[in-house]
Amino acid sequence: MPDDRPTERGTTVPYTADKPPLPETPDQLRARIPGWGADLDPADRPAVPREVRGLETGAHWELPEQQPEHQPRERSVEHARLTPVFGTSVPLKGLSGVVRRYAYRRFSEARAAHWLLLVAADRVDAVESHLASLATRRPDDPVTQSGVLAEAGNHPVRSRAGRTDVRHQVLDPVLVVGPWVLAGLVVYRLGRALVRRVRT
Amino acid sequence: MRAMTYRGPYKIRVEDKPMPRVEHPNDAIVRVTTAAICGSDLHLYHGMMPDTRVGSTFGHEFVGVVHEVGPSVQHLAVGDRVMVPFNIYCGTCFFCARGLYSNCHNVNPNATAVGGIYGYSHTTGGYDGGQAEFVRVPFADVGPAKVPDWMDEEDAVLCTDALATGYFGAQLADIAEGDVVVVLGAGPVGLFAARSAWLMGAGRVIVVDQIEERLELARTFAYAETINYTQHKDVVVELKRTTGWLGADRVIDAVGAEADGNLVQHVTSAKLKLQGGSPVALNWAIDGVRKGGTVSVMGAYGPIFSAVKFGDAMNKGLTLRANQAPVKRQWPRLFEHMRSGYLKPNDIVTHRIPLEHIAEGYHMFSAKLDGCVKPLVVPGGD
Ligand SMILES: NC(=O)c1ccc[n+]([C@@H]2O[C@H](COP(=O)([O-])OP(=O)(O)OC[C@H]3O[C@@H](n4cnc5c(N)ncnc54)[C@H](O)[C@@H]3O)[C@@H](O)[C@H]2O)c1
Ligand SMILES: [Zn+2]
Ligand SMILES: [Zn+2]
């Protein structure tokens, strides 16, 4: 079947050599836009070329001193050594810690298993941490922690008008509340089973 | 001290945490005066970045006052007002020695493929971030700089990431005079990239997003033409049409891992975490750029594979350029542009949120409520 769409008049690019004309000349652009062309010369662009030697960084060492390792620090098997400096936020602990340590020890960054195990450990960590929080004076509170209270007064309807992400934003509450509902059901079931057992 | 604390996907709260300590002789402890929430933080908040641990503190955009310095710190003193680039880097490793500050090899034991970033999961080194009253700043002689006295506090915060990243993204696009530049995403990074594209001599700048307030900023703040992709059946065809069927010379992806516009891609990545990131925008870039053109990727993607249309990139002979921005390398020139009045970063700040209300701030920024484009976080405010 022949394509019956009209051929756009004047459409010769890219079937011929020249670029389509621009709507504005450089002078017009310079007049309209503050700083137009200030970095036209690549020599003025600080990221060009990508690699440069001899930049002044402020460092006064060849190899930085080693930060003390107070507890065994997990590291990528693609590193030959522990890096001189490292973060000490939230050391490995619990079941998620076991999974994470295994992911670091066993698989290089090139392996999907490395990252998928780390993602799985993140989910385990969230469950572990929620459960642990129930035993503290400040249990997790999905309402205040999810920030949904910000909906009120911030134009929840108007802000979302015409947006496609609204279609999957409905999944967000499911992701946040779903695990709690599931956990609640499990606890309820277990409790009921236990009560029955005790009664009989 | 008070600090934003991650409690699992979509959940954060403010907690009392122990004061950060000097753990290396070149550390400083900085008291944060203003921080910001970044589009990158949303990837953590939504649980997309592997090894994001419950209890960690986010925040890689902050300015503050030096509170304590380690014994080997020479260039900073207690009381100095400092702006801190989001990169943690040593200054002397193979990569830093070549100016690749965002790719430092001495700061992230968890991964060799990623450099060090404040408050950005263990995949970037396991450092706590600056959405808190105090933060540990490693390599205090290398990363931080004293805030120049002419510079406004909010402008300084934007220099620590979004502005420097947008400016860097425009440079990676290799723009030549008269080039048609398309910027995907009208968040802070996209807006600054669009604005910077003009500095490099672009002939047309077209910004694509779906959020009207942001497209409005693209027109007024970034002087760009705009396309709302929800109003086109196929945005790639629209890009071809508007460029006389050639395609754009350069496309900048300023969207990253949570790109919308394709339900399956978005849900499999952002919601189900089966991909390292939704490559919708990246694929639009690859298909919307002209043959032989350049795609500059500023949008962040996780280390897991994504369904990228690599064959098109190959067959079209594209140059793909990407990196986390080496922020401090951009500063001297950026500061000149700010002083010349070419760039006024805090024009895009829409919200200022007290640290105590940061959970609501994340939700508002994530759901893009109330025209939120760039939220700042103020410790101690209420
Ligand atoms: N390379 C770096 O150094 C660096 C630094 C900072 C941020 N980033 C990354 O840059 C990206 C943007 O950051 P931001 O702070 O501007 O985030 P943001 O979330 O505020 O902005 C992203 C914008 O993209 C829009 N969008 C979603 N899908 C789209 C699509 N398919 N086409 C066009 N637009 C689409 C959204 O509506 C939103 O306005 C993030 O991925 C962030 O992680 C990278
Ligand atoms: Zn950022
Ligand atoms: Zn380094």
Same domain, B167 and B278: yes
The string of pLDDT tens digits covering residues B103-158 is 999 999 999 999 999 999 999 999 999 999 999 999 999 999 999 999 999 999 99
For residue B144, the chain A residue with the least C-alpha distance is: A58
Q: Which helix (H) or strand (E) holds B365?
A: helix B358-367
Same domain, B195 and B102: no
B265 alpha carbon, closest ligand: 1
Query: With contact defined as beta carbons under 8 Å apart, do B377 and B34 qualify?
Result: yes
B289: domain CATH number is 3.40.50.720
Q: Is residue A106 part of a domain?
A: no
**Is residue B276 within 6 Å of ligand 1 at its C-beta?**
no
Q: Is residue A22 part of a domain?
A: yes
Confidence of residue B269 (pLDDT cuts 50, 70, 90): confident
Q: Is residue A16 part of a domain?
A: yes
Judged by CB atoms closer than 8 Å, whether chains meet at B171 and A46 is answered as yes
Q: By the CB < 8 Å criterion, does A62 face chain B?
A: yes
B152: domain CATH number is 3.90.180.10
Same domain, B203 and B92: no
Across residues B182-199, what is the average pLDDT? Answer: 98
Among B307, B322, B337, give the residue marking a domain's end: B322
Same domain, B9 and B38: yes
Confidence of residue B274 (pLDDT cuts 50, 70, 90): confident
**Rounded Cα–Cα distance for residues B238 and A128 (Å):** 48
Same domain, B52 and B151: yes
- Residue B14 to chain A, least CA–CA distance (Å): 9
Same domain, B155 and B166: no
Query: What is the tally of structural domains in chain A?
Result: 2
Q: By the CB < 8 Å criterion, does A79 face chain B?
A: yes
**Rounded Cα–Cα distance for residues B20 and A102 (Å):** 28
**Residue B381: what pLDDT?**
62
pTM: 0.95
Question: In this predicted model, which residue has the larger pLDDT, B291 or B277?
Answer: B291
Residue of B42, B87, B189, B195 to test ligand 1 pocket, by largest number of atoms within 8 Å of CB: B189
Q: Is residue A40 part of a domain?
A: yes
The string of pLDDT tens digits covering residues B17-42 is 999 999 999 999 999 999 999 999 99
Among A67, A87, A112, give the residue marking a domain's end: A67
Q: Is residue A114 part of a domain?
A: no
* Cα A176-A178-A183 angle, rounded to 5 deg: 115
Among A67, A88, A105, give the residue marking a domain's end: A67
**Residue B15: what pLDDT?**
97
Question: In this predicted model, which residue has the larger pLDDT, A191 or B100?
Answer: B100
Among A33, A67, A101, give the residue marking a domain's end: A67
- Residue A183 to chain B, least CA–CA distance (Å): 15
**Is residue B36 within 6 Å of ligand 1 at its C-beta?**
no
Q: By the CB < 8 Å criterion, does A28 face chain B?
A: no
Same domain, B194 and B276: yes
Task: Using the predicted structure, report yes or no on whether residue B51 has a pLDDT greater than 60.
Answer: yes
Query: What is the tally of structural domains in chain B?
Result: 2
**Rounded Cα–Cα distance for residues A65 and A118 (Å):** 29
Chain B residues within 8 A of A30 when measuring between CB atoms: none
Same domain, B125 and B264: no
Q: In this complex, which of B11, B196, B361 lies closest to A142 when CB atoms are compared?
A: B11
Judged by CB atoms closer than 8 Å, whether chains meet at B368 and A82 is answered as no
Across residues B257-270, what is the average pLDDT? Answer: 88
Question: In this predicted model, which residue has the larger pLDDT, A196 or B166?
Answer: B166
**Rounded Cα–Cα distance for residues B12 and B9 (Å):** 8
* Atom 27, ligand 1: residue with shortest CA distance: B259
Judged by CB atoms closer than 8 Å, whether chains meet at B363 and A116 is answered as no
Q: Is residue A117 part of a domain?
A: no
**Which pairs count as long-range contacts for A50-58, CB under 8 Å and 24+ apart, including other chains?**
A50/B99, A50/B100, A51/B98, A51/B99, A51/B100, A52/B98, A52/B99, A53/B97, A53/B98, A53/B99, A55/B99, A55/B329, A57/B91, A57/B92, A57/B96, A57/B101, A57/B142, A58/B75, A58/B91, A58/B141, A58/B142
Walk along chain A (200 residues) and give the pLDDT tens digit of each residue.
566 666 665 566 788 898 999 999 999 999 999 999 999 999 999 999 999 999 999 999 999 999 999 999 999 999 999 999 999 999 999 999 999 999 999 999 999 999 999 999 999 999 999 999 999 999 999 899 999 999 988 899 888 888 888 878 777 777 777 777 887 888 888 888 888 888 87
| Angle of helix B212-220 versus helix B188-199 axis, rounded to 10 | 20
**Rounded Cα–Cα distance for residues B350 and B371 (Å):** 7
Query: Ligand 1 centre from B191 Cα, in Å?
Result: 10
Same domain, B172 and B245: yes
Judged by CB atoms closer than 8 Å, whether chains meet at A163 and B273 is answered as no
Across residues B270-297, what is the average pLDDT? Answer: 93
Residue A131: both structure tokens together:
């459960």
- Residue B12 to chain A, least CA–CA distance (Å): 5
Task: Using the predicted structure, report yes or no on whether residue B364 has a pLDDT greater than 90.
Answer: yes
Judged by CB atoms closer than 8 Å, whether chains meet at B11 and A90 is answered as no
**Residue A13: what pLDDT?**
78
Report the complex ipTM: 0.96
Chain B residues within 8 A of A146 when measuring between CB atoms: 10-11, 359, 363
- Residue A28 to chain B, least CA–CA distance (Å): 10
Domain boundaries, position A190: 141-150+170-200
Domain boundaries, position B256: 162-322
Question: In this predicted model, which residue has the larger pLDDT, A133 or B382?
Answer: A133
**Residue B265: what pLDDT?**
87
Task: Using the predicted structure, report yes or no on whether residue B242 has a pLDDT greater than 80.
Answer: yes
**Is residue B70 within 6 Å of ligand 1 at its C-beta?**
no
Judged by CB atoms closer than 8 Å, whether chains meet at B172 and A47 is answered as yes
Same domain, B302 and B224: yes
Same domain, B193 and B273: yes
Task: Using the predicted structure, report yes or no on whether residue B174 has a pLDDT greater than 80.
Answer: yes
Query: Ligand 1 centre from B103 Cα, in Å?
Result: 21
Same domain, B212 and B308: yes
Q: How many CB atoms lie within 10 A of CB B214?
A: 24
Closest atom of ligand 1 to CA, residue B257 = 41
